[in-house]
Chains A and B, each alone.
Chain A
Amino acid sequence: MAATTKAPAPTEPAWRRATRHGLFWPVVALAALLLANTAFSPDFLAVGVRDGHLFGAPIDILRNSAPLMLVALGMTLVIATRGIDLSVGAVVAIAGALSLSYIATSPTPGSPVTVLTAICLALGVCLLLGVWNGFLVSVVGIQPIIATLILMTAGRGIAMLITEGQITTVTSAPFKTLGTGFLLGLPVAMLIAYGVFVLVALLTRRTALGMLVESVGINPAASRLAGVKARTIVWTVFALSGLFSGLAGLILASNVMAADANNAGLFIELDAILAVVIGGTSLQGGKFSLSGTFVGVLIITTLTLTVTIVGISPLVTPLFKALVVIVVTLLQSPRIRATFAARARRRAARPEEVAV
């Protein structure tokens, strides 16, 4: 494949080379969405300053995308090792339930120490849940989809156990900052999510870690024989996925300041997987694209916002998600690409025939 695409490269026009790039269609989809929004409300892309904070639809998109970004980031790494993590939604619910229940029972819900303890407690437990998933996959050797299905099923039960089936509401100013606060004019949630994103990007792309993760995804046995600690890598990515989901759960809980064990992070695992796939990371593992996941997350968040702005019932949103996924995955499918390539070749060949 690589050989055939490289050979005609010097003669083919730049736009055709651009369409071959993995991120071309996802970026087109995002641009189309943004354009459609601008057509609907002309000042959609305007960013202003109010009370010293940046505001506007693009900032909203970036802030709303924070939880999904975190979950999708962990998911990208897990998928790169040929795994999948279905339990992230349940972990999100557990993180919210734990932190808010802790704050609710403490005598000083407003004190930063209480909030910090609650955050550390929730993150610690979520890391452990990730470690549990990683243990089942890498040590016991259960398929990732089933190993994480266990926690996906039981996790919401555990979250309800923590909240005792109630929707715990809490007032705590420091905790609220996490989801709705601003720092240096930017939303705190966005700073956390994109800070983690940059950190992971640096760790995986500036060190050998990313390559090791991909090598495990391509062939776990071969990479182990080549001296890669495949088991540790798999274990680590699942642990990270748990940790990031916990962080996402804290942000989501702080957005509404209520621990709803049933609905917190419902279907976020599916959105995250969609975002990763739209971004061009294959579920077969072996390669991953963080920038792809970034674009995928923005597409899904913008889509959700668009549906609300246009005034369609948010309940219909899944239909649009399905259409985006179908179009993008079909355009990325090898068969369609081969058809396009064949047509392009035929078109290129035609003038020669005329000349002869």
Chain B
Amino acid sequence: MASVPRRWRVDRRYMPVVGTFVVLALILAVGGVRYENFLSLEVLANLFINNSFLIVLAVGMTFVILTGGIDLSVGAVLALSAVTAAYLIDAGWPVAVAMPLVVLVGSFIGLLLGVMIHVFDVQPFIATLAGMFFARGLCFVIAPESIPINDETFAAIAGWTTWIGGYWRMTTGVAVALVVVAVAFFLLHYTQFGRTVYAIGGGEQSARLMGLPVARTKVLVYVVSGTCAGLGGLLFAMYSRSGYSLTGVAMELDAIAAVVIGGTLLTGGTGFVLGSVLGVLVLGLIQTVITFEGTLSSWWTKIFIGVLLLVFVILQRVLTARRT
């Protein structure tokens, strides 16, 4: 280590993210060697298109996990938002009203969960578990069957694509996801709210003693996560052009896995939103590789993700052990 020039040395805080990046590069390299057309812009563009809603979920989850909490409700809230969007548009509501409304549904559930966690001292795990059951049950009350969205305005918004630089295909979903990532990055690193989020994760008691608005921030991170889930639902409705109650089952686990693989510690206080984006891309790439392989069955995805989780968790453990 000592022989490495100082400017080449990576800050230890960035180590897990660097690890994620290395894994991403490795999968790309292996894929590129093994399959033709793997390293094409089309594959990479599709990676973003197919995972835009997961990126949004993982961004929201990052806020919650940074404070040391967890949000299990996001998958169900995503489904609720998608189903509500489909139901309202099917009932003839104007798209301009329905779309913001379903995002607010997510924010509202997030607010309720935040209040339950902070004011009534219910553990985040239990409160958001109740939120998950609540949202999932509500989905079936609204619409037990899949509702297709045939509205023209909605189709126009969902079907919008642009070619960046003439090669990179980008849909509305990807654009929204990238904006969400940019906003989250700004919030976390350039505002008082973001600093308070990190401070709570580092030590809630200390943050309170420093006079930071702990109560407000703790509720707000769940609002952020709920809003992201609501938005994710809207993106999913755009992606699938329908609303179905069983979408997003166990998607909260994908989001948590992406955040962990992206280098955020579940104890809170350490992590980056861009790491979570890398985490989503790693999960997506694994899926892509399995699709390219063809002979490998879908269950290998789960096993690979499990193994990858294990590797990253042990890596984090080693890094934090060295620090303390």
Chain A residues in the interface with B (C-beta under 8 A): 84, 140-143, 145-147, 149-158, 160-161, 165, 261, 270, 273-274, 277, 282-284, 313, 315-323, 325-326, 329-330, 333-336
Contact with A along B207-226 (1 / 0, CB 8 A): 00000000000000000000
A284 nearest in chain B by CB position: B123
A153 touches B306 (CB 8 A): yes
Task: List chain A residues, Cβ under 8 A from B120.
Answer: 329-330, 333, 335-336
A–B Cβ pairs within 8 angstroms, 11 of them: A142-B313, A143-B266, A149-B309, A157-B299, A157-B303, A270-B129, A270-B132, A323-B134, A329-B120, A330-B116, A336-B120
Tell me whether B134 and A153 are in contact (CB under 8 A): no
Q: Is B144 an interface residue (CB 8 A)?
A: yes
- Residues in chain B near residue A317, CB distance under 8 A: 137
Assembly CA distance A334 to B120 (angstroms):
7
Task: Give me the 3 closest cross-chain CB pairs, A-B, nearest first.
Answer: A319-B137, A154-B306, A157-B302
Measured CA separation A325–B130 after assembly (Å): 6
Q: Does B301 belong to the interface (CB within 8 Å)?
A: yes
- Contact check, A161 vs B253: say whether CB atoms are below 8 A apart: no
State the CA gap A254–B301 with chains docked (Å): 28
CB–CB A150/B306 < 8 A: yes
The answer to whether A152 and B253 touch (CB under 8 A), given A165-B299, A325-B126, is yes
Contact of A318 among B134, B298, B310 (CB under 8 A): B134
Given contacts A153-B253, A154-B303, A274-B126, 6 further A-B contacts (CB under 8 A): A140-B317, A156-B302, A283-B123, A315-B140, A321-B137, A322-B133
Question: Are A313 and B267 closer than 8 Å at their CB atoms?
Answer: no
Find out whether the CB atom of B122 lies under 8 angstroms from the CB atom of A330. Answer: yes
Could you list which residues of chain B lie within 8 angstroms of chain A, going by C-beta atoms? 70, 116, 119-123, 125-127, 129-134, 136-138, 140-141, 144, 245, 253, 256-257, 260, 266-267, 297-303, 305-307, 309-310, 313-314, 317, 321
Evaluate contact between A153 and B309: CB separation under 8 angstroms. Answer: yes
Chain B neighbourhood of A274, CB < 8 A: 126, 129
Cα(A160)–Cα(B260), bound, Å? 25
Smallest CB gap from A145: residue in B: B266
Residues of A within 8 Å of B256, CB to CB, are 149
Please determine whether B134 and A329 come into contact, CB atoms closer than 8 angstroms.
Answer: no
**Chain B neighbourhood of A333, CB < 8 A:** 120-122
Q: Is the CB of B130 within 8 A of A157?
A: no
Determine if A158 and B303 form an interchain contact, defined as CB atoms under 8 angstroms apart.
yes
Complex Cα spacing A161 to B304, Å = 13
Q: Which residues of A contact B116 (CB under 8 A)?
A: 326, 330
Asked whether, in the complex, the Cβ of A142 is within 8 Å of the Cβ of B317, the reply is yes
A325 and B129 contacting across the interface, CB-CB below 8 Å = yes
Contact A329 B253 (CB under 8 A): no
What CA separation (Å) do A165 and B295 show in the bound complex?
Answer: 13
A322: chain B residues at CB < 8 Å are 130-134, 137
- B303 partner residues in chain A, CB cutoff 8 A: 154, 157-158, 161
B140 near A154 (CB under 8 angstroms)? no
Q: Which residues of A contact B123 (CB under 8 A)?
A: 282-284
CA distance A256 to B120 in the complex (A): 41
Report yes or no: B317 in contact with A273, Cβ–Cβ below 8 A: no
Inter-chain contact B125/A283, CB cutoff 8 Å:
yes
A325: which B residues are within 8 A, CB to CB?
Answer: 126, 129-130, 133
A331 to chain B: closest residue by CB: B120
* Measured CA separation A302–B136 after assembly (Å): 20
CA distance A270 to B253 in the complex (A): 13
Residues of B within 8 A of A155 (CB): 306
Taking each of B126, B144, B307, which has the highest tally of chain A beta carbons within 10 Å of its own beta carbon? Answer: B126
State whether B309 touches A150 (Cβ < 8 A): yes
Closest to B141 in A: A316
B117 to chain A, nearest CB (A): 10
Separation in Å of the A133 CB from the closest CB of chain B? 12
Chain A residues within 8 Å of B313, by CB: 142, 146-147, 150
Among B126, B133, B301, contact of A319 (Cβ-Cβ < 8 Å): B133
CA–CA, A165 and B138, complex, Å: 31
> In whole Å, how far is B254's beta carbon from the nearest beta carbon of chain A?
9
A158 and B299 CA atoms in complex are apart in Å by 8
Q: Are B299 and A161 in contact (CB under 8 A)?
A: yes
Which residue from chain A places its CB closest to the CB of B134 in the assembled complex?
A: A322
A226→B321 CA distance, assembly (Å): 24
Least CB distance, B293 to chain A, in whole angstroms: 15
User: A154 contacts B137, CB within 8 Å?
Assistant: no
Q: How far is the CB of A153 from chain B (nearest CB, A)?
A: 4
B257: chain A residues at CB < 8 Å are: 149, 153
Chain A residues in 8 Å Cβ range of B298: 165
Q: B118 to chain A: closest CB distance in Å?
A: 10
What are the residues of chain A within 8 A of B137 when measuring CB–CB?
315-322
Name the residue of chain A whose CB is nearest to the CB of B265: A143
Q: In angstroms, how far is the closest chain A Cβ from the Cβ of B125? A: 6
Measured CB to CB, the nearest residue on chain A to B297 is A165
For the complex formed, measure the closest distance between the CB of B121 and the CB atoms of chain A, giving whole angstroms.
5
Q: Which residues from A are CB-within-8-Å of B140?
A: 313, 315-316, 318-319
Determine if B121 and A156 form an interchain contact, defined as CB atoms under 8 angstroms apart: no
B253 near A149: Cβ-Cβ < 8 Å: yes
CB of B126 to closest CB in A, whole Å: 5
Interface centre among B127, B132, B306, B314 (most CB of A within 10 A): B306
- Decide: B133 and A335 in contact? CB cutoff 8 A: no
CB-CB < 8 A to B119: which residues of A? 335
CA distance A201 to B123 in the complex (A): 26
What is the CB-to-nearest-CB distance from B120 to chain A, in angstroms, rounded to a whole number?
4
The minimal Cβ–Cβ distance linking A43 to chain B, given in whole angstroms, is 29
Q: A273-B129, A325-B130, A335-B119 are in contact. Are A157 and B306 (CB under 8 A)?
A: yes
In contact, B70 and A145 (Cβ under 8 angstroms)? yes
Distance to closest chain B CB from A301 (angstroms): 16
List A contacts of B302 (CB < 8 A). Answer: 153-154, 156-157, 160
Instruction: Identify the interface centre among B129, B245, B298, B301: most chain A CB within 10 Å of its CB.
Output: B129
Q: Which residue of A lies closest to B119 (CB)?
A: A335
> In the complex, A66→B323 CA distance in Å?
46
Taking CB atoms, residues of chain B closer than 8 Å to A326 are 116, 130, 134
